Amino acid sequence: MALFDSARPNPAGYRDVTSADVTVPAQGFRLIDVREPHEFTGELGHIPGAELVPLASVLAHAASWNKDEALLLVCRSGGRSGNAAQALNRLGFTKVMNLVGGMMGWNAAGKTIEK
């Protein structure tokens, strides 16, 4: 089953997943980290295979993305990525997911990171 299909619907129009739901390398979804570059390489690290697209530039980058591709957005705690997920949903993206708890939750779950 695809990650998107098992993700929990969020009232804002996207779907939520937890660290336990996600396996790496990403299969069937694109992993977008919306933090700033210093956070991506900082203490919390990043999920292997994640693309760094800072929140301020997400909408500009999204103009070239496939609106039907499954996207998993991640940030430090899940707030910024939730905002980005909501914005992409409003733009017509159909398979947008947010990592609940962000990199803090990912690290707390003992999942693999890169720095």
The domain spans of the chain are 3-108
CATH number of 3-108: 3.40.250.10
Phi, psi of 30 (to 5 degrees): -100, 135
Task: Write out pLDDT tens, residues 39-57.
Answer: 999 999 999 999 999 999 9
pLDDT at 67 over 80: yes
Q: What percent of the chain has pLDDT over 90?
A: 97
pLDDT at 1 over 80: no
Residues 39/44/45/49 CA torsion (nearest 10 deg): -100
Q: Is 75 helix (H, G, I), strand (E, B) or coil?
A: coil
25-58 in b/e burial notation, b at 16+ Cβ within 10 A?
ebeebbbbbbbbeebbeeebbbbeebeebbbeeb
Task: For residue 94, give both structure tokens.
Answer: 């159909």
